[in-house]
Amino acid sequence: MSDGFIPKHGGYEKLRSYKTAEIVYDATVWFCDRFIDKRSRTHDQMVQAARSGKQNIMEGSMASATSKESEIKLTNVARASLEELLADCRDFLRVRGMRLWEKNSKEALYVRQLGHGSHVTNGTRARLEARSRSRR
């Protein structure tokens, strides 16, 4: 049985990479709105890099039915955008003399655990904000 001339595509919402990129985007918007002046070029750059990562995973998934080359290119653009965002986050910490978490630190493991399963809920976000306020 044939699926038709053009194979199935899309379904990006189920991809782990898309789910993760969406969480990164949401967290980036929250972080930038809270800690970086909204009129700042850095604010805009970080939010746009996170958005680009998410959007290019989506576009690559949609292109996969007709062009594996386009899918790969868009996936690489997503990866580059998220690397740019990571560099901005590292710069933010470095210029403020703040500690960068090691990959397997308790903090990093806790945050990574939040990404498993469904998206961060408002309840989880509220707990994170309360925990953040208590550490000041």
| Cα–Cα distance measured from residue 88 to residue 70, given in angstroms and rounded to the nearest whole number | 27
Sign of the dihedral through C-alpha 76, 78, 80, 82: negative
Residue 24 and residue 57 in one domain: yes
Instruction: Convert the pLDDT of each residue in 48-74 to its tens digit.
Output: 999 999 999 999 988 887 888 999 999
Measured between alpha carbons, how far is 37 from 58 in angstroms, rounded to an integer? 29
Please indicate, yes or no, if residue 136 is contained in any of the structural domains.
Answer: yes
Print the domain residue range for 132: 101-136
Flag whether the pTM goes above 0.85: no
Tell me: do 128 and 76 sit in the same domain.
Answer: no
| 84 and 65 together in one domain | yes
Per-residue pLDDT tens digits for 66-100: 888 999 999 999 999 999 999 999 999 999 999 99
Q: Provide the number of structural domains found in the chain.
A: 2
C-alpha–C-alpha distance, residues 14 and 36, integer Å:
32
Q: Are residues 84 and 107 in the same domain?
A: no
Q: By percentage, how much of the chain surpasses pLDDT 90?
A: 57
Q: For the domain that residue 31 is a member of, what is the CATH number?
A: 1.20.1440.60
